Structure 1
Amino acid sequence: MRSRLAVIAGLGCVAAALAGCTATGQMALGSGPSVQALTVSTDTTTESTVSFPTPLLPSRAQCREIVAGTGPRVQPGDVVEVAVSLYLGATGEKLVSVGYDSSKPAKYVPVSASAADVVSAGLRCGSRGSRLAVAIPHSASIANVTALGLIDSQKTRLTDPQQLGLGSGEGFVQVMDIKRVFPGKATGAPQITRDGFPAVALAPNGTPGITIPKKPTPTKMELEILKAGAGPVIGEKSTVLVHIASANWSTGAANSTWQSGAPQPVSLAQEDPSLVKLLSGVKVGSQVGVILPTPASEGQAADASFLVIDILGIL
């Protein structure tokens, strides 16, 4: 049974989400006449309803907190679980809504410090529990909708805002409900690992670099705690939010969710029971290294991968 954790890291299957606010912690978006003209519903457990004078012609991106959240403001480096509804500024039509039922799950958006990105700049206006309304100008429309993957695969290839039905100067209205906020990397205390185990060096944002030792390909699954977290304990049936980096033992070829943009939810109930047994009891905030052997098959020799897994939260 091939681990889904290895598949996620190997495919790099997460669409990168754009981000944007100042590195000093100040919000990159302020209010303005376009966002103040919106009338937005306040029940954050259901899809938003929005009305506004049309066509909406925002000259710049603007943000307004409709429902106040609790806790600290979203910061660069956080990962936000967000439900989103997108409206066409020309007519007020709702184009798409995700995050309010299991058929269209919420998005997990890494927040960066880029001041050019409407998605993160908008998220920086709020905290857990906030409902945010963002007026998005014509010039930023395509980048915004493709960043969150809100438009279908055919339309994500569009480069001209007019192909989305936008006239000159028109834009979008985006309503975002911040469900939860997670750290963007493992926050636990670094641990000393045993000799002969792959070495892991971390970039400032938490991205792992992996060095495979010059040793025979391992045949036994092993786990090592690289950072010891202090959060809740993972159970055998937990669904966890993780960042994953992998390196092939034979070739050193590396892949990761860090490169592709966002962490992924993983249900341990669907994983290899041997791996689940190793992960059960590990605490949120931990970073673990896992040696994952691949048995020999017809035409292919036995091999192994080394995974670095940052456990960001339990969903």
Structure 2
Amino acid sequence: MRRLTTVLTSLTVAAALLSGCSPEQGSAPEVVVTGEPGQVPVLEYEAPLTVGEARAEVVWEGEGPSVADGQPILVDYYAEAGADASLVGETFTSDPRPYLLSAEALGVDIYRALSGRTVGSRILHLAPPSDGQSSSTVAVFDLLPTRAAGEPVEPRDGLPTVELAENGEPTVTIPEGEPPSELVVQPLIKATGPQVEPMQVITVQFTGVRWSDGTVFDSSWDPGKLPAPFPIGVGSVIAGWDEGLVEQTVGSQVLLIIPPSLGYGGTDQELATETLVFVVDILAANGRNS
């Protein structure tokens, strides 16, 4: 049975980034990092760069909450081979990567480099060559939000109510009465990021609830799950998402009430006749300027 979470693919940081010794705090004066938040960082150093021991340095500290062990994180990364400054891999021109904050998911050195940092931080990480490699690695990690943030919006009367847990997970309560017959789009948190455009891939947290009985049928907030990337405005998720999330702003939280005609249709017989309620946190959109 198809669910939104089946679209999520397993994405891993390049193996060259996931090896090395445990990092130490301290400066890395031979590497200068410039560039604005959300933009591809520029690394300046003399190649070949030799790294004898892995270490991490905070380029700038974010104002968000500290990331927690075992909980989802969302990162943009950019990495070069220190030997010749050639590109190893990056996500700034594609989609950020979700991970659980653990040594198993990230590797010991990157886990220690990111552990305890605050959302919004940029971290420089230097790692010596691992087995079978001839070059050190110079990497930058940006810790992105995993929940919506912005100005609360007072929803209009008669809509489902949404309460947020401390980590941002929504609980949806369905009101009495028949569901709307047309698509309802209600921002709950309005952010100042760029607008979502058709043909983009958005990264989201979401919870989906049946109007008929208020039960959750899918959620990226479930234990062990991660924020999920979806193409938008191309007819590849469900029509209600395409119509309701295009032109919303990155960082916002949106309540969608989707009638059966704009839902899963014949792709999911169990949900084909259901009115669906989604709470969607828009975390990123490829090609973003924020």
Change (3 A) 1:286 1:106: closer
Q: Which moved more, 1:292-301 or 1:202-211?
A: 292-301
Q: Residue 121 of structure 1: which of 99, 108, 112 is its match?
A: 112
Tell me, yes or no, if the aligned pair for 1:14 and 1:257 is still in contact at 8 Å: no
Tell me, yes or no, if the aligned pair for 1:81 and 1:109 is still in contact at 8 Å: no
Partner of 1:228: 190
SS in structure 2 opposite 1:122? Answer: helix
Tell me, yes or no, if the aligned pair for 2:210 and 2:277 is still in contact at 8 Å: yes
SS in structure 1 opposite 2:176? Answer: coil
CA RMSD of aligned residues (A): 4.8
The alignment status of 1:304 with 2:275, answered yes or no, reads: yes
Percent identical:
22
1:1-315 maps to which residues of 2 (within 5 A)?
7-9=3-5, 31=24, 64-65=55-56, 69=59, 72=62, 75-76=66-67, 79-82=74-77, 107-109=97-99, 111=101, 118=108, 120-124=111-115, 127-128=121-122, 130-133=124-127, 177-178=139-140, 180-251=142-213, 252-259=215-222, 260-271=224-235, 272=238, 275-295=241-261, 302-315=273-286
Instruction: Give unpaired runs (5+ residues) of structure 2.
Output: 13-21, 26-32, 34-41, 81-87, 131-135
Cα offset for 1:205?
1.0
Q: Give TM-score scaled by structure 2 length.
A: 0.59
Tell me, yes or no, if the aligned pair for 2:152 and 2:188 is still in contact at 8 Å: yes
Partner of 2:29: none
Cα offset for 1:98?
7.3
Change (3 A) 1:106 1:297: closer
SS in structure 2 opposite 1:270? Answer: coil
SS in structure 2 opposite 1:130? Answer: strand
Cα offset for 1:193?
0.8
Tell me, yes or no, if the aligned pair for 2:209 and 2:217 is still in contact at 8 Å: yes
Tell me, yes or no, if the aligned pair for 2:181 and 2:259 is still in contact at 8 Å: yes
Instruction: Give unpaired runs (5+ residues) of structure 1.
Output: 1-5, 18-28, 33-41, 54-61, 86-96, 137-173
Cα offset for 1:292?
1.7
Cα offset for 1:111?
4.7
Cα offset for 1:222?
1.3
Q: Which moved more, 1:73-82 or 1:276-285?
A: 73-82
Change (3 A) 1:16 1:308: farther
Change (3 A) 1:30 1:263: same
**Structure with a larger share of its residues in helix:** 1
Tell me, yes or no, if the aligned pair for 2:56 and 2:123 is still in contact at 8 Å: no
Cα offset for 1:99?
5.6
Equivalent residue letter for 1:210:
V
Equivalent residue letter for 1:130:
L
Q: Find the aligned partners of 1:246 and 1:231 in 2 and give their Cα distance.
A: 24
Q: Find the aligned partners of 1:202 and 1:108 in 2 and give their Cα distance.
A: 21
Number of corresponding residues: 232
Tell me, yes or no, if the aligned pair for 1:185 and 1:312 is still in contact at 8 Å: yes
Q: Find the aligned partners of 1:101 and 1:227 in 2 and give their Cα distance.
A: 25
Cα offset for 1:63?
5.2
